[in-house]
Amino acid sequence: MIINENQKDPFDIEVYGTVYSVFPEEDASYTIFKNGEEYLHIVKDSESDWIKLDMETSMPLFGIDEEVNLLGRKILEYEKENND
């Protein structure tokens, strides 16, 4: 088995009382689970904007999505606080 030492561990974040499980991917995107179900794939676009990716094709779905941006901010906060 090959282990990628750069692979980040999954973690949970809470937004408005809902817990999301975040799985960092190798391509700097994140798979988000909500209530135990795969919910979103997101990737950072700019300092404050995140893009939702199509669940089947991984193609970007452009447009402003406040939930995606909020999850992205929470991910950055978590990573900043837990950076080794």
Domain boundaries, the chain: 11-81
How far, in Å, CA of 34 to CA of 71, rounded?
A: 12
Q: What's the pTM value of the predicted model, to 2 decimals?
A: 0.85
Dist CA 35 CA 17 (whole Å): 12
pLDDT tens for each residue of 23-71: 999 888 999 999 999 999 999 998 789 999 999 999 999 888 999 999 9
Backbone angles phi, psi at 77, to 5 degrees: -60, -45
Tokens, residue 70: 């909020």
| pLDDT score for 29 | 94
pLDDT the model gives residue 74:
97
Q: Is-contact 82 11, C-beta < 8 A?
A: yes
